[in-house]
């Protein structure tokens, strides 16, 4: 089992990934996959840069973790992510048989772990995933809010200039 | 709108992809993405070969289509796939805003389009997808059944030899 200190350390690593997304103008979401107390996969949202709809933070972290373990099964691994996973990422998490998911902020519009569905805990699938939410929620939530606020401000400024 | 002949042609292309998976020992599932009546993305299951849990037929076809259109939005595109999509692929389909999905055989254990959920038609998400199922169902279903029958036969033969 991970200690509270370890959980915090891994969520900070996910936040660092989210910040990397922000610096290149992507929605700041980050994720890491942990195995035996070590980070073996990292990812941040790169959907816009690569114009690939599958390039969510969790997907990229999971792919990197599969490469590290030479296995599509991530049974003893934990995923840390700054925002509640969407349907696609929830599916990848179940398919990879991850042991646990720790997410920070809820996503009421597209989150399928707690908000719209409980897809990680449906016993009709061949795997269920332990979930902990709310770890460093405020920091992750603020990161997203500031990002969208800055975008709105830029748009307003552009409108004023174009008048 | 696609004609019945076009739909059949595109499902045959998806079946050809599924057969490619089979020749390399992968579960035979194939998919194509269509735009303006042309195939712009193809994919077959490659999970075992690359040991990557995200390498489902639909995901690879969607990524190829995004590359072709230089866009993560596949709004005017249709996906043809030999088996009902799982949760991960359903998520990618909604995220990419595909116009329609045509799938052949149902997947009662993991399908999330009709079998376990109706994830492509939940109006709480920002996009819904038109679904048609059953096109060339028997051919796709037989392909999967033959594949798993051959695996069971191989296992039995191996057991007999090891006695």
Q: CATH number, domain at B139?
A: 3.40.140.10
CA distance A128 to A121: 5
Q: Is the pTM of this model over 0.90?
A: yes
Interface size A-B, in CB pairs within 8 Å, comes to: 105
Total number of domains in chain A: 1
Domain span at residue B125 reads: 4-162
Mean of pLDDT values over A12-28: 97
CB contact under 8 A, A70 and B51: yes
What radius of gyration do chain B's Cα atoms show? 16
Å from A152 to nearest chain B CA? 20
Mean of pLDDT values over B52-73: 98
**pLDDT for the residue A162:** 86
Interface membership of A59 toward B (CB under 8 Å): yes
The ipTM value here is 0.95
**pLDDT for the residue B1:** 86
Per the structure block, which two tokens stand in for A57? 């933070």
What radius of gyration do chain A's Cα atoms show? 16
Å from B45 to nearest chain A CA? 13
**pLDDT for the residue B161:** 86
> What digits encode the pLDDT tens for the residues A96-155?
999 999 999 999 999 999 999 999 999 999 999 999 999 999 999 999 999 999 999 999
**pLDDT for the residue A59:** 98
Residue A1 has pLDDT above 90, yes or no: no
* Burial environment of residue B65 by CB neighbours within 10 A (0 to 12, 13 to 18, 19 or more): buried
> What digits encode the pLDDT tens for the residues A65-78?
999 999 999 999 99
**pLDDT for the residue A33:** 98
Interface membership of B63 toward A (CB under 8 Å): yes
**What percent of chain B stands above pLDDT 70?**
100
CB contact under 8 A, A72 and B110: no
Beta strand pairing call for A100-105 and A130-133: parallel
CB contact under 8 A, B53 and A72: yes
């Amino acid at each position: 089992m991970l200690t509270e200190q370890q959980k915090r350390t891994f969520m900070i690593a996910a936040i660092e990934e989210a910040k990397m997304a922000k610096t290149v103008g992507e929605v700041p979401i980050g994720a890491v996959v942990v195995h035996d107390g070590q980070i073996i996969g990292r990812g941040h949202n790169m959907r816009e840069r690569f114009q690939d709809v599958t390039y969510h933070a969790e997907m990229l972290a999971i792919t990197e973790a599969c490469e590290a373990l030479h296995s599509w099964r991530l049974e003893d691994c934990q995923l840390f992510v700054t925002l509640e996973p969407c349907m696609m990422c929830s599916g990848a998490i179940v398919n990879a048989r991850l042991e646990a998911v720790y997410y920070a902020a809820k996503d009421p519009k597209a989150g399928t772990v707690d908000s719209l569905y409980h897809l990680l805990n449906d016993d009709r699938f061949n795997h269920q995933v332990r979930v902990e939410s709310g770890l460093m929620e405020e920091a992750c939530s603020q990161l997203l809010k500031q990002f969208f606020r800055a975008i709105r401000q830029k748009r307003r400024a552009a409108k004023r200039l174009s008048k």
